[in-house]
Structure 1
Amino acid sequence: MKDLHVKEPIPPTRRIHKLVLTGGPCGGKTTGQARLATFFENLGWKVFRVPETATVLMSGGISFGELNEEQVLDFQEHLVVTMMALEETYFSMAEKCSQNVLIIADRGVMDASAFISRENWERILTKLNLEDIEISDNRYHQVVHMQSAALGAEKFYTTEDHAARFEGLELARERDRRAMDSWRDHPYVDIIDNRSDFDSKINKLIDVVVRRIGINIGDRFKANSRKVKFVVSSLPKDEEFPVKFTDFQVVHHYLHSAQRGFQTRLRKRVRNGRATYTFTVRKPQIQGQTVEVKQPISQRDYLNLLSHRDDAHLPVFKTRRCFLYQNQQYQLDMYKSPCHPRCKNLILLETFTTLDDQEIMASLPPFLRVKREVTGDPAFSMYNLSLRGDWQESVDQFCHRLSSDDESESDEVYDVKKAHERLTCLSESSDD
């Protein structure tokens, strides 16, 4: 609603945004959901994730491909009932939250219509006393369709990362088309295709959700936006920090990988005593593109995976502070003990920008004492910082070619002595 007497829109005091993530097989929903949750939690939102109901049911022994027509119809009916019951639980919890809430539904009720004929779908609606408009337009605020890798990114299509996925390329394309068609009448549908690389695809997902809600975060997700990193020597005390911030206690563990060229890590993130867990697999490059698959996991899975930690790396403990300054999102990583001496008192600032080097330095928050930009410097990569041994004694493990946010790997020899000198020089100046 417009108001001529107000220069800036006044947002509601509390928001609940109900989002459906849908799409064809191997479209990036799992990684997209994890990245969305992290982004909005950094903004101070509460995030609820409704699990994919079909996967929950099929994990109990149901194989969709083995069902006859009568069983398929019966399964879809119970799927709708179960899905709506699950969603209502999260909707109810959201209403009782004092924070802004993002609810991410891994597929929505209309997705069930993609697997049966229109006639059978109408029979289910009639039996359950439901109408299309109520379970589509009026139930969710936004639908985002993540296009299957089977359409335009065939080299990345796989069935390995999902226990309930079995579709070949042609069937995956058909499932993608049907999923898209099932939501054609919803007023707010965004389609994320495969014209860009995978990381850009995930960024576009976050961007369309942010824009639909109406959050201004500057140029964070513009096509030419790049990640930049700086060493910070000092920052104000918590009570004197001039903008609102959210602190998380974060622990990273690197794991042994069973496949050559793959890198795996765990992250535990705690806020107000509540922990979330993420498992990340970084795959080797395909056609010059590196793919990271992020998956939310349970505490039990986290503890089980910890037994596979790589003892060549120390666990990394940080306080991660997220804040907005002049519509730009920033992240401060403050390394904590226990840690390798190289990480003592280390503070790194990260953001995304389209500005050139001189412009970005001038636009950084003035309440932070920024020493120098270290974007792309392997001396400040978390992968290298976490190495247990001294860099000069473990040259073969030191990774000098950075191609992801936290880590990299290469077989080439690198001048680790100079890297150590750069790190030591800036770290010592941070103690001044």
Structure 2
Amino acid sequence: MKPTDLMENTNRVYKLVLTGGPCGGKTTGQARLCTFFENLGWKVYRVPETATVLLSGGIKFSDLNPDETFKFQENLLKTMIQIENTYFELAKTSKRNCLIICDRGVMDASAYIDADKWERMKKDNSWNEIELRDNRYNQIVHMVSAANGAEDFYSTEEHSCRSEGVDLARELDYKAAAAWIGHPYFDVIDNSTDFEAKVNRMIECVCMKLSINIGDRLTRSSRKLKFLVSGPLVSDDQFPPFQDFNVVHHYLQTSGQRVQTRLRKRGQNGHWSYIHTTRRPHVHGQSIEVKTQLTQRDYLNMLAQKDDAHFTIFKKRRCFLVNNQYFQLDIYMEPSHPRCRGLMLLETYTSLEGEQLKKSLPKFLNIVKEVTGDPSYSMFNLSLKEDWNNTKKFCYSLHDLIDDGQKHTPNMKKLVNGKA
């Protein structure tokens, strides 16, 4: 079986959660995102916010006792899942590519429930967070509340279900973001720019994950940055709330030197999600990356295509939020290539630069230097059994340079595309 045999679908279905604190721009962002993708020829479904639908019917939390509140939250979540499933099933029949925008998602419920009650609710319904968070949605975008960084624009007017003051709005904003820590594709859109640019950054980050070339329709601002971290790692209690995952990467055989394919298994507590990634150079020198969610069965079948020229990569991935910035710390684990021993790499997507960027980085980590685009820290090169530093292999590291948003000379781009 060829890897591509599992990828041939008549349409793409992309499930996006748009979440955030009060007055973060979700409503406007959803409308703009819808228009943008419809103009690209996509079918767009917008899943309404279940809590707003139910609360607008006259339910008041102040009228409910603790048992009633718990039961209401549980039924709200079940209702949300059923409503979303209706759209998910409908999207599968679409003849066009389909974007499903969920106004909040199931993990948002955990932000409004005590931790012990959330655990009880999951146990009572046989739910686990890998399924609810990682496998259910393709991407999460959190729009930071105006109460956190754009206070002059925070307002509760024209929203019948919003009554939060600034301090409470900040608290709810953080809880809403923290609920999604750990999702493999989680973007936080802060208030470091004006609102128009904020919405454009939101649309941009969705297009980036879908490998859609947006040309000059939006100003590209966010880029992926990578930093080398030296140990020993600080104790867990010095981190903000975090989620740890076990991650396993396998590179697969490909038909051409300029194409990379890999499998990723990612999970915690015995529950896993599976992703197939194909990366190939674009005619304009950029790299196109397509990610497809797999079933466990498809994952196991595709492991037969494993490339023996590469070691399997094992990592512990720690995900956390600092200063409205989402970070992933990859701690390379045994057994891996000796060159990975003790290696820790911190990654983030950001539009910040200079001093602003420096201030946003975690102060509790010993960050040695930025290594964005450095071929020594390309996972493809790190996994190679042979020395990667030769012309044939070096073209792959150039793909990584382009992915990381670096500027290159025309000659470098020609080398990437096999023209030099």
Could you tell me the TM-score, scaled by structure 1's length? 0.49
Within the candidate set 114, 119, 123, 2:116 is matched to 119
1:67 alignment partner in structure 2: 64
SS in 2 for 1:217: coil
State whether residues 204 and 220 of structure 2, in contact with CA within 8 Å, keep that contact through their aligned partners in structure 1.
Answer: no
Moved >6 Å (runs of 4+): none
Cα gap change, 1:65 to 1:201, in 2 (>3 Å): farther
Matched, 1:52 2:49: yes
CA distance in 2, matches of 1:201, 1:213: 19
Within the candidate set 165, 169, 174, 2:166 is matched to 169
Cα gap change, 1:203 to 1:65, in 2 (>3 Å): farther
1:169-216 per-residue CA deviation (whole Å, 9 max, x = no partner) reads 111011001001100011110000001001111111100001111111
CA distance in 2, matches of 1:11, 1:35: 30
- Gaps of at least 5 residues in structure 2 are 222-283, 285-420
The Cα of 1:30 is off from its aligned counterpart by 0.3
The Cα of 1:221 is off from its aligned counterpart by 1.6
Amino acid at match of 2:106: V
Cα gap change, 1:66 to 1:199, in 2 (>3 Å): farther
SS in 1 for 2:141: strand
Matched, 1:130 2:127: yes
State whether residues 10 and 95 of structure 2, in contact with CA within 8 Å, keep that contact through their aligned partners in structure 1.
Answer: no
CA distance in 2, matches of 1:181, 1:223: 26
Amino acid at match of 2:177: M
SS in 1 for 2:119: helix
The Cα of 1:86 is off from its aligned counterpart by 0.2
SS in 2 for 1:44: coil
2:40 alignment partner in structure 1: 43
Amino acid at match of 1:183: W
CA distance in 2, matches of 1:56, 1:17: 24
CA distance in 1, matches of 2:65, 2:112: 13
Matched, 1:221 2:224: no
2:297 alignment partner in structure 1: none
1:25 alignment partner in structure 2: 22
SS in 2 for 1:137: helix
CA distance in 1, matches of 2:62, 2:145: 20
CA distance in 2, matches of 1:12, 1:208: 24
2:177 alignment partner in structure 1: 180
- Gaps of at least 5 residues in structure 1 are 4-9, 225-325, 327-432
Map 1:6-405 → 2, pairs under 5 A: 13-222=10-219
CA distance in 1, matches of 2:219, 2:8: 24
1:48-85 per-residue CA deviation (whole Å, 9 max, x = no partner) reads 00000000000000123443332221111011100000
CA distance in 2, matches of 1:11, 1:208: 25
1:349 alignment partner in structure 2: none
Deviates most, 62-71 or 186-195: 62-71
State whether residues 148 and 191 of structure 2, in contact with CA within 8 Å, keep that contact through their aligned partners in structure 1.
Answer: yes
2:340 alignment partner in structure 1: none
Cα gap change, 1:107 to 1:31, in 2 (>3 Å): same
Q: How many residues align?
A: 219
The Cα of 1:220 is off from its aligned counterpart by 2.0
CA distance in 1, matches of 2:96, 2:213: 18
CA distance in 2, matches of 1:113, 1:103: 22
The Cα of 1:128 is off from its aligned counterpart by 1.5
SS in 1 for 2:135: coil
CA distance in 2, matches of 1:118, 1:152: 28
CA distance in 2, matches of 1:217, 1:115: 37
SS in 2 for 1:191: strand
CA distance in 2, matches of 1:13, 1:216: 20
State whether residues 141 and 187 of structure 2, in contact with CA within 8 Å, keep that contact through their aligned partners in structure 1.
Answer: yes
